[in-house]
Chains A and B, each alone.
Chain A
Amino acid sequence: MFKGGCAARKGAAMVLKTSDSYVPWSKEQTVVVVDKHRGERGALMPILHELQETFGYIDPEAVDLLAAELNLSKADVHGVVTFYKDFRSERPGESMIRLCRGEACQSMGAERLASHACEHLGISFGGTTSDGAVTLEQVFCLGNCALSPAVMVQGRLKGRVDEARFDEIVDELKAGRR
């Protein structure tokens, strides 16, 4: 029988959580996560989300394990992990900034903000600052299109972010680290 209610319930809160509670990857914990979702239809996506929430990324070793546990081919699992931009194969920085580059944000100077962000942090999109504090990602639409440019910081949406506001956000993140 398929279930899914209880496990699916966890699904909502797990997206884009803060990183301070990531634990090191372990086979045991991966199996715990798999067991929790095993009975759900299309369980691989909820499992991958929860693994990333737990460890901060999808460890390459998890691919083999998931394939074996879910009776899928390794190619199937690898294919899914690599298809979706959210799933990372490396642990991200302590904080995640996602900057919108969609058309609505472009109309309000998002490209200028994007260049500024990369320059200010000294990284390109997808990169992490050398001190491991911030990972910067690009995203196409955060649904805050009437308050562009938009960024998402640790899963929290911010609107009307100009260059100065961006620098403040980074300063706040770095201050929070100490």
Chain B
Amino acid sequence: MTGTVTVFVPRDAAARSLGADEVADAIVREAAARGKQVHLVRNGSRGMCWLEPLVEVSTPRGRVAYGPVKARSVGELMDKGMLDGAPNAVWLGLTDEIEHLKRQTRFSFARVGIIDPLSVEDYEANDGLVGLRRALEMTPQQIVSEITKSGLRGRGGAGFPTGIKWQTVLDTPSELKFIACNADEGDSGTFADRMLMEGDPFVLVEGMAIAALAVGATEGYVYIRSEYPDAAATMQAAIDIASLNGWIGPSVLGSGRAFNLYLRVGAGAYICGEETAMLESLEGRRGVIRAKPPLPAIAGLFGRPTVVNNVLSLAAVPPILAKGADAFSELGVGRSRGTQVFQLAGNIKHGGVYEDAFGLSLGELVEGIGGGTSSGRPVRAVQVGGPLGAYIPTSRFDLPLDYEALALEGAMLGHGGVVVFDDTVDMSRQARFAMEFCAEESCGKCTPCRLGSVRGVEVIDRIVAGIDPEANIALLEDLCETMADASLCAMGGLTPSPVRSALEHFPEDFKKSRALSL
């Protein structure tokens, strides 16, 4: 064979964290040593983290996957015909036929893992810019109505209807409006924003441009946390390429309408994932939250009407425009429309990104799709929705993962992170950590959060030490109530959620007599 073989090795930070760069180097080196020509593409991750680094080889039958591939075994794999798609110990068959991928409905992640994230040609060849082109033929009101009709709700955590938010910005007159993308994905157990920005950054650029056309904004900011250097670099490159190609800038796709997009990097403050704290940070100030009202949609960045949306919300916009609101709204259940990008994390066998229409139960996701724990021990608790989400016991694995069903349980879907713990977990420690984390990350503006979290740690320590447990549990309940009801934002308001759920479902963990951990 003399033809050039296209080989895909992810450039995603998770794949790189297990040696994807070394694998890519080995492929180029070993192919050259064998006189084979390869065309190396650094794609995004397919989201099956346990198979990373996942290498794909283009064959006449389609892309064939291998994983996990180690750099030192690349030569041997090539000798066994990897470049022809031949089977071996890490052969996974045709990528499209992998059960885990086949079962998903990929709406937001449609291109992630398939294309070269920074290739303009790849993007356009895979339905890129279709949504933006359609938006340019519509009036702002028509675009907003389309989003409202789709039923899209904010994927950052709160689940607020995106169309209603956009309508408010559209209806608020101002000669200057902003689009602010919240890419401060700080919840432990979540990484979908990162994977999307590293795997398909143009979709975010396109989504923000459509949002700008919809509400009459001319300037946009992507606020990425500093813990994501790879995502920031890819996003910046995408913004530059999109500007060079005239997709954004002074005249969006030659329409004469301007939209300039800038990247800003956070500096290690979890609270900046709260929308008003993020706006403060974008303005160059401490990330202290603002009391609402006024809503950012009316007085947001620099006091101007601002759309603040999560990465996944904005990334859902181009396909909604391209395929129509119905294509999105026909997926899902009840008032949770479309797809949800779940992130399976922690002690889980098959961890990664899993996008599917709303309606899966927690048990199906954790045991069925996730394959249970990676330690092989029984699952004991699952934290859904990040550090502010509730701990759910296996007895509630029948819970459907949608906004309303979880809210009824006092839990939340949040940003879709699902962190699994096996039976070695000490739930009093997890409850204590929730308070500790709040104390560490509180912006300090309101008392229930700033002081309540510190007192919470102390009270939990007393309970676990066996000091007047009944009275101290009552005190903890009271403290949780105060924090939940009187905090200004979700940081203090939802910290009681993991604490209360741990206490409710795992009271035995609080009864052990342990030394005060000081």
Contacts and interface: CB of A to CB of B under 8 A. Distances in A.
**A and B: interacting chains:** yes
Interface of A: 4-5, 8-9, 11-16, 40-46, 48-49, 76, 79-80, 83-87, 98, 100, 102-108, 139-148, 150, 152, 155-160
A107 B419 contact: yes
A159 B263 contact: no
B190 interface: yes
Contacts of A139: 227, 268
A44 B284 contact: yes
A76 B226 contact: no
B14 A147 contact: yes
A79 B443 CA distance: 12
A142 B115 CA distance: 24
Contacts of A140: 186, 188, 270, 387, 437, 440-441
B260 interface: yes
A107 B417 contact: no
Interface stretch (B131-139, B347-355, B405-413): B347-355
Contacts of B417: 104, 145
Interface residues of B, number: 71
B397 interface: no
B346 interface: yes
Nearest to B344: A146
A79 B267 CA distance: 13
B274 interface: no
Nearest to A16: B229
Contacts of B237: 12
B49 A103 contact: no
A104 to B, nearest CB: 4
Contacts of B14: 143-144, 146-147, 157, 159
Contacts of A86: 226, 266-268
Interface string B282-321: 1111111000000000000010000000000000000000
Contacts of A79: 285-286
Contacts of A147: 14, 17-18, 49, 52, 351
B262 A145 contact: no
Contact of B419 (A41, A104, A143): A104
B177 interface: no
Given A48-B267, A84-B269, A104-B345, A143 B425 contact: no
Contacts of A13: 233, 236
A49 to B, nearest CB: 6
Given A5-B243, A85-B267, A147-B18, A107 B227 contact: no
Contacts of B123: none
A12 B387 contact: no
A45 B419 contact: no
A143 B233 contact: no
A16 B226 contact: yes
Contacts of B440: 140
B188 A145 contact: yes
Given A85-B269, A103-B387, A141 B227 contact: yes
Contacts of A142: 227
A148 B191 contact: no
B236 A9 contact: yes
B420 interface: yes
A146 B343 contact: yes
B419 A42 contact: no
A104 B186 CA distance: 12
A145 B288 CA distance: 27
A146 B348 contact: yes
A76 B236 contact: no
B450 to A, nearest CB: 14
Contacts of B288: 83
B202 interface: no
A141 B50 CA distance: 18
A32 B383 CA distance: 47
B284 A42 contact: yes
A13 B283 CA distance: 21
B345 to A, nearest CB: 3
A40 B264 CA distance: 11
For the complex of A and B, the 5 pairs showing the least CB-CB separation, nearest first, are: A146-B351, A102-B188, A12-B236, A145-B345, A84-B267
Interface string B48-86: 011010000000000000000000000000000000000
B281 interface: yes
B464 interface: no
B267 A103 contact: no
Given A145-B191, A145-B417, 12 more contacts: A11-B232, A12-B233, A12-B235, A12-B263, A12-B265, A14-B265, A103-B419, A104-B417, A107-B419, A144-B17, A156-B17, A160-B18
